[in-house]
């Protein structure tokens, strides 16, 4: 019993001595600094992995990340890096991970272009929700859906959701003009203008789709088809009930 207690006390004494040495060790500024420096260098960033970048500026991204090269994975603030990267055009979301011992992994989600919005001489490329991704030159993204008019960006998704159900109509549209912030005119590639109502767009498109297929109005050279009155089609040549 005495032998057990003796070893017990010796063990406790050993722990106390180790703790004292440990505290004194870290109270020595020079040793602490050197130890910390060595620890940081052990996990310095030697590799930055970028996943998902396509349209966002490689140059700007490189400039942002340059300041983090050779920094320690232990000490860098991922939130700060994320905030900086998300300011770059086209970048919608960023996920950043520390991959020890030396890799900073950056996964980028970019906005998907869907349409071009023309405002006077200024052109914006938009995503499906009408978000202005960036200004573009007038000759860029010519194959994308084109819209005009004040407030057209905010109504883009609503219009396209309905037009997708009528691909024959959609394929003929050169651009859509949002008139007086209330309703759309569809301008066909061959010059025909389709006047849509403020409400019940789906019903009007359905009427137009079936009426065009039946009467071949576009082929007959009509320049205007008015759908603003519910259930009725009026053209510059013919009037009829749907």
What pLDDT, on a 0 to 100 scale, did the predictor assign at position 26? Answer: 52
Torsion 8-13-18-19 (CA) sign: positive
Residue 38 vs residue 152, higher pLDDT: 152
Q: What span, in angstroms and rounded, lies between the C-alpha atoms of 122 and 203?
A: 33
The stretch 30-37 carries a mean pLDDT of 50
DSSP code, position 154: H
> Residue 175's CB: how many other CB atoms inside 10 A?
19
Residues of the chain with CATH 3.40.50.11690: 115-241
Which tens digits make up the pLDDT trace of 102-152?
999 999 999 999 999 999 999 999 999 999 999 999 999 999 999 999 999
C-alpha separations of 102 from 39, 53, 224 in Å: 12, 21, 65
Residue 218, exposed/middle/buried by CB under 10 A (0-12, 13-18, 19+)?
A: middle
The stretch 194-215 carries a mean pLDDT of 92
Residues of the chain with CATH 3.10.20.310: 43-110
Q: Are 68 and 76 a contacting pair, CB within 8 Å?
A: yes
The pTM of this model reads 0.75
* Element holding 97 (H helix, E strand): strand 91-99
C-alpha separations of 72 from 2, 75, 101, 129 in Å: 52, 5, 10, 39
Q: Are 155 and 169 a contacting pair, CB within 8 Å?
A: no
- CATH pick for 115-241 out of 3.40.50.300, 3.40.50.1000, 3.40.50.11690, 3.40.640.10: 3.40.50.11690
Residue 53 vs residue 23, higher pLDDT: 53
CATH superfamily for 43-110 is membrane protein fhac (3.10.20.310)
Looking up tokens 């200004």 gives 135
Q: What span, in angstroms and rounded, lies between the C-alpha atoms of 241 and 229?
A: 10
Percentage of residues in the chain with pLDDT exceeding 70? 78
Q: Is pLDDT at 39 greater than 80 in this prediction? A: no
Q: How confident is the model at residue 74 (pLDDT cuts 50, 70, 90)?
A: confident
């Amino acid at each position: 019993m005495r032998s057990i207690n003796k070893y017990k006390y010796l063990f406790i004494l050993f722990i106390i001595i180790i703790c004292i040495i440990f505290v004194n060790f870290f109270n020595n500024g020079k040793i602490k600094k050197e130890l910390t420096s060595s620890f940081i260098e052990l996990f310095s960033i030697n590799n930055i992995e970028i996943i998902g970048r396509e349209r966002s500026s490689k140059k700007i991204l490189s400039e942002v990340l340059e300041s983090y090269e050779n920094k320690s994975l232990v000490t860098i603030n991922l939130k700060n890096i994320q905030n900086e990267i998300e300011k770059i055009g086209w970048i919608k979301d960023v996920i950043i991970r520390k991959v020890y011992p030396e890799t900073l992994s950056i996964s980028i989600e970019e906005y998907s272009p869907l349409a071009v919005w023309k405002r006077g001489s200024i052109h914006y490329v938009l995503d499906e929700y009408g978000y202005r991704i960036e200004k573009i030159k007038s000759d860029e993204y010519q194959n994308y859906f084109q819209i005009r008019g004040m407030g057209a960006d905010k109504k883009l998704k609503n219009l396209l959701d309905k037009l997708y159900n009528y691909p024959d109509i959609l394929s003929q549209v050169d651009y859509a003009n949002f008139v007086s912030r209330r309703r759309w005119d569809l301008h066909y590639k061959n010059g025909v203008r389709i006047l849509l109502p403020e409400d019940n767009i789906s019903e009007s498109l359905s009427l137009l789709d079936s009426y065009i297929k039946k009467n071949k109005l576009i082929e007959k050279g009509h320049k205007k088809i008015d759908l603003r009155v519910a259930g009725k089609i009026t053209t510059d040549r013919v009037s009829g009930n749907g």
